[in-house]
Amino acid sequence: MINTFSFSYPWWYLLICVALGILYALLMYYRDKRFSDYSHWFTKTLGLLRTAGVSLIALLLLNPFVKTIKEDTKSPVIILATDNSTSIKAGEKPDVLDQYQQKLTSLGESLEEKYDVKYLNFGTDVTNAKKDSFTSKSTNISNLFDYIENNYSDQNLGAIIMGTDGIYNEGSNPIYNDSKFNAPLYTIALGDTTQKKDLLFQNILYNKIAYLGDKFSVQVDISAFNCASNNTKVSLEMISGNQNKKIVEETLLINSNNFFTTKTFLLDASQSGVIRFRAKLASVPNEYNTSNNVKEFFIEILDARQKILLLANAPHPDLAALKSIITSNKNYEVELAFAKDFTGNYSKYNLVLFHNLPSDINDIGSIIAQLDKNNTPRIFIVGMQTSLVKFNKSQEIVQIIGNSRNQEDIQVEFNSGFSQFTTTDALKSKLKSFPPLVAPFGDYKSLGTGNVFLYQNIKKIKTNYPLISFGEKNGFKTCVINGEGIWKWRLFDHLQNKNYDLISELVNKTIQLTSVKADKRKFRASTSKNLYTENEAILFDAQLYNDSYEMVNESEVKLVVKDENNKEFTYIFSKTSNYYTLNADIFAHGSYTYTATTNYNGKALTVGGKFNVEAIQLEQFDLTAKHALLKTLSEKHLGKMVYPSNMETLKDILLNNDLIKPVMYQTTSTKSIIYLKWLFFVILTLLSLEWFLRRYFGNY
């Protein structure tokens, strides 16, 4: 550590500080006869003490500082990353795998004598760990490279050692990964590159959502290696509890050793819910790996689409834009009609969207009466054709006093207090820059039942005029959008972002909030979704309401989860703020039911539901090691590929590499000397000693 003193002023300012100290001492002691009875050295000593004290105080006024240079030596970092996926365990014999782990431990210990060794495990994610359990359900080598770049690119990285079979089934091809780390990559080639006799599902393609009563297709891609002249059967089963129902079966003749075929099956969506299916291939004699002959998948079959009526006063560009946005969501079915021509039955629709209605030529009073009778939610889009007088009578969310003949350009301002649904940060930041909507000029007032989501921004001035509002009365919800021109938002979204994600998010969440039925239950519990993968934690939340429908969490909430064999898993919810949460961790693949119970005000409350866990079978489909990939990676990063049998060579290569050497880092810091405590005590000692001598010898 090196300390130096520095000044912000020229060096000769120090002479001024000393001169001030001498001048101050001379003024006090040069003609002072009070100590004439003592030796002249006594007066000079007092003067020197005063000179030193005053000079140091003057020096502090110049704000000098101490510059400290600290030197640290960093040993080279060697990263030892090992593949933690299940394909390693499936592709290596147990004794070979044990020897590999022993050699890996020995290699790490040898390198630790000279280098700073960091141990990483990688599979689906990257973790800091020294031992492998070989339980990861997928392999993402690119993710490992990104992790190393993000965490070690600014360190003295000496080398990377990666033990893997080269099989990756998530992320991009690691050869084309653009992560940059200035260190050689050494790979340890595990597994067997021999293509064994194997029959497998290469891929299964299907729509995750189907509708009750419809037909849906399932495409299966089948591969076979070294299985020529064998027959197999491909079948699809529907699984419900412990019962398996075979839906279709077909015999295949494998006519080559490198066989591939695609089969498409058309199935009936005969029951609603999340349905579990299983595809199976009958094994062939002496097949090496049969775990990839079976693959399960889940399809959510919805009871029916929500029917939406888009009723307009006259043709308008908004209509095509809205229909396109809404129909992109498979949960919705849209019918477009004009008020003067429509004679259909309003009761069959789940939501009616009025565009520029009511107008001067189209009164919708009778339509509103029918919707009220059926508690049908509705959305009003107010534009330049809307009759404001009739509009004010048609709903109780917004009142507009004005003239629709005059228009105003309006942009959006988010209401930070709105909490009925959440929006993405991208929508919040970008929607403000979208082109303005056109609204009738007037005075806008939000009525008692209205809850404002967006306010109007007029000529860059935020107003309290509502742009989008929601309200509820008599069991149905109403939304009012004060402005036309949504077609411009859709085009602008695609121009800026090359997609329609933001406008779709806005429209879909508006429709979802308006059309959802009010839930009056006082106790609710649910999972965050109804289909998980087997490496995802199952998350639950629960809400309990008092008689005033205020959320409370006074009572204990219990959860029981049952699997297909009626095995029970019991949990207690955690209390958070005024609601309940639970992380039930991961579950094995299969179908589960859950029941949440509590006791509140002497009443037992119960709610239940279902969820499914989908198996991750990526690691079982291909067990043929990719050593060519590892060799290419090593050469690209100036390293070398070795086999487990000669891992000891890595020790010699790394320990004798003159390019892997410690690096000295210098850290410079500055600190004003006014913060040095010892300097304060020096000045205090000088002045105190002078004062003591003056007092002791009879003066002060």
Ordered DSSP codes for 560-577 = EEE-TT--EEEEEPEEET
- Report pLDDT digits (tens) over 303-339: 767 899 999 999 999 999 999 999 988 778 899 999 9
Domain with CATH 3.40.50.410 in the chain: 76-193+624-655
Q: Is the pLDDT of residue 677 over 70?
A: yes
- Say what the pLDDT of residue 219 is: 93
Neighbours of 520 (CB within 10 A): 8
- Say what the pLDDT of residue 380 is: 97
More confident residue, 327 or 616: 327
Spatial separation of the C-alpha atoms in residues 120 and 104, rounded to whole Å: 12
129, 47 Cβ separation under 8 angstroms: no
- Report pLDDT digits (tens) over 459-485: 989 999 999 999 988 778 999 999 999
Nearest partner of 486 among 438, 448, 534, 446, judged by Cα: 438
Question: 306-515 adopts what CATH topology?
Answer: Rossmann fold (3.40.50)
Report the percentage of the chain scoring pLDDT > 90: 47
CATH of domain 523-614: 2.60.40.1930
Nearest partner of 115 among 676, 655, 546, judged by Cα: 655
- Report pLDDT digits (tens) over 387-443: 999 999 999 999 999 877 889 999 999 998 887 887 888 899 999 999 999 999 999
More confident residue, 661 or 380: 380
Spatial separation of the C-alpha atoms in residues 583 and 450, rounded to whole Å: 36
Which range, 191-200, 500-509, 651-660, has the best average confidence (pLDDT)?
Answer: 500-509
Non-local (6+) Cβ contacts of 512 within 8 A are: 421
Spatial separation of the C-alpha atoms in residues 478 and 346, rounded to whole Å: 16
- Say what the pLDDT of residue 441 is: 93
**Average pLDDT taken over every residue of the chain:** 88
In the chain, how many H helices and how many E strands?
Answer: 15, 36
460: left (phi over 0), alpha (psi -120 to 50) or beta: left
pLDDT bucket at 458, cuts 50 / 70 / 90: very high
Q: Per-residue pLDDT averaged across 609-631, rounded?
A: 84
Instruction: Give the containing element (helix H, strand E) for 102.
Output: helix 94-112
* CATH of range 198-302; options 2.60.40.10, 3.40.50.150, 3.40.50.280, 1.10.10.10: 2.60.40.10
Q: For 76-193+624-655, which CATH class?
A: alpha beta
Q: Is the pLDDT of residue 161 over 90?
A: yes
Buried (b) or exposed (e) across 420-447, using 16+ Cβ within 10 A?
Answer: eeeeeeebeeebeebebbebbebebebe
Q: Per-residue pLDDT averaged across 201-216, rounded?
A: 84
Nearest partner of 186 among 167, 157, 156, 163, judged by Cα: 163
Non-local (6+) Cβ contacts of 444 within 8 A are: 398, 399, 400, 456, 463, 465, 466, 482
- Say what the pLDDT of residue 330 is: 77
| φ, ψ for residue 393, nearest 5 deg | -85, -15
336, 310 Cβ separation under 8 angstroms: yes
Two structure tokens written together for 221 = 């891609």
- Say what the pLDDT of residue 489 is: 95
Nearest partner of 395 among 441, 352, 457, judged by Cα: 352
More confident residue, 627 or 9: 627
- Say what the pLDDT of residue 698 is: 65
Domain with CATH 3.40.50.880 in the chain: 306-515
Domain with CATH 2.60.40.10 in the chain: 198-302
- Report pLDDT digits (tens) over 263-319: 999 998 888 888 889 999 999 999 888 888 998 888 888 776 789 999 999 999 999
- Say what the pLDDT of residue 304 is: 66
Between the CA atoms of 622, 627, 631 and 634, what dihedral angle is there, to the nearest 10 degrees?
Answer: 60
Q: Is the pLDDT of residue 80 over 60?
A: yes
Spatial separation of the C-alpha atoms in residues 523 and 543, rounded to whole Å: 6
